[in-house]
Amino acid sequence: MKVLEAIKLGSKLLKEKNIHTYILDSELLLSKSLNKSREKILINLEQNINKRALTDFNKYLVRRSRREPIAYLLEEKEFWSKKFFVNKNTLIPRPETELMVEKLVTFFKKKRITILDIGTGTGCIIVSLLSELKNSTGIAVDISSKAIMVAKKNAYKFKLSDRIKLLNKPFEDLHDKKFDLIVSNPPYVKRMEIKNLSDDIKKFEPRMALDGGNDGLDLIKKVIYKSKKILKINGTLALEIGNEQINKVSKILIEKKFRIKCVIKDYRNNVRCVFAELR
């Protein structure tokens, strides 16, 4: 079978399963199977595919047709112009989170700061921050040992292992250290609403990284309470939050003596991040 024929067959199968990006996904999965870039296979559509690659391609198509995210199949996701290693043990980095990174980089560009990333997952936030903030260092924590392994791969990949300390422990166990900046993208989906998420999220992404408890605020509250103890005075807490949570989160922050610095809206005009300063 030739490349063009395989792409067409893959696209047809995915289209029948209502995968909207059926052509792109077919091309990406074939490039993964052939271990060649998508660009390379597209300029050589008449190339014959060996049996082993075709078998792999068919397996990937079956998995994708069941709604498994393309990022897990490719084991990578672009974030902050970097290709991060991802697998099913971590959330897939989202473009909205880049908005938080972008704002933080403008705030701290010329400064030397210490950063704590709570629930680091792939490490995409702290790796992206430290790739820009050349004089800064950070600690990243996650209760999932498998997530920490993913973050370690990414820290190594982007040559930041010497500036990021990765810890497999609950963030509540951190003591004896104060930070200039604490960042977190904690679970914030209400437990009852997880069933309403799309199949690719609820069936494949780690539940512990989604489940924010009954009101979606369980982990957000814990991060705020802990940050009060380990953030330096005038230090910044940057939180990613869910839709329509800003009023409740702001109230908790103000009660805990934080001052709201700014909020960031996502591409749909929902407040997605809040930055607060410890007074």
The H or E element that residue 129 is part of is helix 124-132
pLDDT at residue number 267: 87
State residue 267 phi and psi, 5-degree precision. -70, -10
Percent of the chain residues past pLDDT 90, beyond the cut: 94
Task: For residue range 94-134, list pLDDT tens digits in order.
Answer: 999 999 999 999 999 989 999 999 999 999 999 999 999 99
Residue type, position 14, single letter: L
Is 213 within the bounds of a domain? yes
List Cα–Cα distances, 211 to 26, 122, 189, 219, in angstroms: 32, 18, 5, 9
Is 251 within the bounds of a domain? yes
Is 72 within the bounds of a domain? no
Q: Residue 28 forms beta bridges with which residues?
A: none
- What's the number of CA atoms in the CB half-sphere (13 Å) around residue 142? 29
Does the structure show a pLDDT above 90 at 197? yes
pLDDT band, residue 274 (cuts 50/70/90): very high
Nearest to 246 by CA among 265, 229, 223: 265
Specify whether 54 is located in the same domain as 92.
no
* Number of folded domains that form the chain: 2
pLDDT at residue number 185: 96
The H or E element that residue 239 is part of is strand 231-240
pTM of the model: 0.93
Specify whether 30 is located in the same domain as 151.
no
Name the domain boundary from 17, 37, 66. 66
Task: For residue range 141-167, list pLDDT tens digits in order.
Answer: 999 999 999 999 999 999 999 999 999
Specify whether 59 is located in the same domain as 81.
no
Is 54 within the bounds of a domain? yes
Instruction: Residue 151: give its domain's CATH number.
Output: 3.40.50.150
Specify whether 52 is located in the same domain as 149.
no
CA distance 126 to 157: 13
Which structural domain, as residue segments, surrounds residue 187?
Answer: 77-278
Is 112 within the bounds of a domain? yes
Specify whether 194 is located in the same domain as 257.
yes
Specify whether 134 is located in the same domain as 32.
no
DSSP structure string for 41-66: HHT-TTPBPPHHHHHHHHHHHHHHHT
pLDDT at residue number 279: 86
Specify whether 138 is located in the same domain as 225.
yes
Is 71 within the bounds of a domain? no
pLDDT band, residue 189 (cuts 50/70/90): very high
Specify whether 183 is located in the same domain as 228.
yes
Contact 144, 117 (CB under 8 A): no
Specify whether 163 is located in the same domain as 45.
no
Does the structure show a pLDDT above 90 at 228? yes
CB atoms within 10 A of CB 116: 29
Contact 142, 196 (CB under 8 A): no
Q: Please provide the average confidence, as pLDDT, over all residues in the chain.
A: 95
